[in-house]
Amino acid sequence: MNSARSEEFFQSTNHAEQTIRKMENYLQQKQLCDVLLVAGHHTIPAHRLVLSAASDYFAAMFTNDVLEAKQEEIKMEGIDPDALKALVHYAYTGVLELKEDTIENLLSAACLLQLSQVIEVCCNFLIKQLHPSNCLGIRSFGDAQGCMYLLKVAHDYTMEHFVEVTKNQEFLLLPANEIAKLLSSDDINVPDEEAIFHALMIWVKHDFQNRQQHLGMLLSLIRLPLLPPQLLADLENSTMFVHDLECQKLLMEAMKYHLLPERRSMMQSPRTKPRKSTVGALYAVGGMDATKGTTTIEKYDLRTNSWIQVGTMNGRRLQFGVAVIDNKLYIVGGRDGLKTSNTVECFNPVAKIWSIMPPMSTHRHGLGVAMLEGPMYAVGGHDGWSYLNTVERWDPQARQWNYVASMSTPRSTVGVAALNSKLYAVGGRDGSSCLKSMECFDPHTNKWSTCASMSKRRGGVGVATYNGLLYAVGGHDAPASNHCSRLSDCVERKKKHHCKATKPFSLEQLKKSVPPKGPSAESHRISWKKSGSLCARYDPKTDTWTTVAPLSIPRDAVGVCPLGDRLYAVGGYDGHSYLNTVESYDAQNNEWTEEVPVNIGRAGACVVVVKLP
């Protein structure tokens, strides 16, 4: 006989399933049940062990020294009897029927019994049912149940579909405090502030007698200075507001904002800040990257605080310009390698369609492009042989390019912006050095005139208007004989009106602008650091420059454009790499703040705002 002991282990593949099925059979036969759950007129037998395994609520009840732990009959207060019965059945089977007319009772019961998986599937079921007619109710229900995910999704849906939501009964029945929460949000998706004002008026008129008392408080949450002046004039004499002193004060504040534009910088408040959806989206087009030029177009949405790729150019372009006409992006000139182009393409960001437009008369790269009173201007640049002072104007009605008066100085890598019915050409290069001069064009006289110069020479400078001031951001100040750029990360601005701008740059300059190695490297880095403190603005009234806050890092060939109440600086080149970082300037606090980066590092990208209908 073999004395050796043999051992083996057996693992049943369906033991747990068979066991729970046996427990379900015991429940159906009402055998071995040790607890009765009483809800309303329903009495539900069950096994403590099964309930405790499925529900943290029952586990805490039956395993702690509480009264219910020893009771055979437990009254379940504040829970729907049918929902409780369904959840007890789920504890034994894992099966649950979700129906639109019982889902809220089921979710409420699941929250009480702490059934996390059931809570999740119920929330997802409700999310699928979201509609402008019910989203406010679902949002309120999620808040009451402490379901933060459901609350957030329903709230985001309400913000996204706000205009449609206001046309439904749920909106009209909201209490004043909930209306106030909605009106306070920057994230409401509306075409303009007027849409929010009209929504408030609909709500007030639905029960004017009882809601009139809240009118002043709620009207203070409307950005009245951003309403059309004609509407404000009509409201001043409206019977709804004429006897309300608080409303009259708010209307007067808004009218002053329109009547005294020169004082707007001193009248800034939460009511003068545009909501995120009303300012459009920021588009970053092309530019130089680590692969010698990206063709991608990225869009930044202020509400989602994210960049996404929305298009691709038909081919590589460097040192080109971009302007926005009728919500379409016009890509002008530039070069691919050594070949300078005069071609123009148009991108429709809604249809994602490209169109070929009539070419310029002159081939140009390093040009500046801007819109002024309808027409688009292509300013300066380089034609592959020489620096240009010529300027062309695109007439969108006649669909043709015509020359206008030339600048006094040839300029490539020039910053161009439109401001108060004039076109400004800032800095650039003329073949011998970077320029600090600035000149402006008056289309009514067809003449260029000289303005005060910047404090430093700068090519590849980013130019845009923001809060009535002309800003010149970043760039380089290397002489033509020495391409080792000292990147100038100062910011200069000039008072007046808003515009968009482009800023070209030289690939050869960037290739040669890598900081030196060896003993001179440290002094070179110090030079760059010092240039970061150079910040100025131009005041046309005094024709002088004064300082403003610097960028956080040097940026040559940076894309600059206003969006909302901030000025954005996108990408650029810091002497080491093509930047994907973005920062925004707050004029009130005179400071730059880091923002969400673009997906692809790029220098010389053209950055513009498009406001789609």
2 pLDDT more than 60 = no
Strands (E), 186-295: 281-285
Residue 479: band (very low, low, confident or very high) from pLDDT cuts 50, 70, 90:
low
576 pLDDT more than 50 = yes
503 pLDDT more than 70 = no
Q: What is the average per-residue pLDDT within 9-34?
A: 77
Residue 98 structure tokens: 């979700």
pLDDT at 194: 96
228 pLDDT more than 50 = yes
369 pLDDT more than 80 = yes
290 pLDDT more than 50 = yes
Q: What angle do CA 475, 476, 480 make, to 5 degrees?
A: 140
Residue 482: band (very low, low, confident or very high) from pLDDT cuts 50, 70, 90:
very low
Average pLDDT, the chain: 87
Is pLDDT larger for residue 587 or for residue 446? Answer: 446
Mind listing the pLDDT tens digit for each residue in 306-335? 999 999 999 999 999 999 999 999 999 999
Is pLDDT larger for residue 489 or for residue 102? Answer: 102
Residue 247: band (very low, low, confident or very high) from pLDDT cuts 50, 70, 90:
very high
**What proportion of the chain, given as a percentage, has pLDDT over 70?**
90
Owner of token pair 């990208």: 605
586 pLDDT more than 70 = yes
Alpha-helix runs per DSSP H in 29-115? 48-54, 56-63, 81-93, 103-113
Task: Mark residue 599 as left, alpha or beta (left: phi above 0; alpha: psi -120 to 50; beta: remaining).
Answer: alpha
User: In the chain, what are the domains?
Assistant: 15-129 (3.30.710.10), 174-272 (1.25.40.420), 279-610 (2.120.10.80)
179 pLDDT more than 70 = yes
CA distances from 93 to 116, 330, 569, 571 (A): 16, 62, 58, 57
Q: What is the average per-residue pLDDT within 236-260?
A: 91
Fill in the amino acid letter for 300: Y
**pTM metric for this prediction:** 0.81
pLDDT at 535: 62
The 8-class DSSP code of residue 499 comes to B
Is pLDDT larger for residue 442 or for residue 2? Answer: 442
Considering all CA atoms of the chain, what is the largest pairwise distance in Å, rounded to the nearest integer?
120
pLDDT at 504: 39
31 by Cβ neighbours in 10 Å (0-12 / 13-18 / 19+) ranks as exposed
Top mean-pLDDT range of 12-26, 28-42, 596-610: 596-610
465 pLDDT more than 80 = yes
Residue 602: band (very low, low, confident or very high) from pLDDT cuts 50, 70, 90:
very high
The 8-class DSSP code of residue 60 comes to H
416 pLDDT more than 80 = yes
526 pLDDT more than 50 = no
185 pLDDT more than 90 = yes
138 pLDDT more than 80 = yes
pLDDT at 101: 93
Residue 466: band (very low, low, confident or very high) from pLDDT cuts 50, 70, 90:
confident
15 pLDDT more than 80 = no
| Nearest partner of 561 among 524, 595, 516, 527, judged by Cα | 595
Mind listing the pLDDT tens digit for each residue in 376-396? 999 999 999 999 999 999 998
Residue 531 structure tokens: 């240039």
Residue 436: band (very low, low, confident or very high) from pLDDT cuts 50, 70, 90:
very high
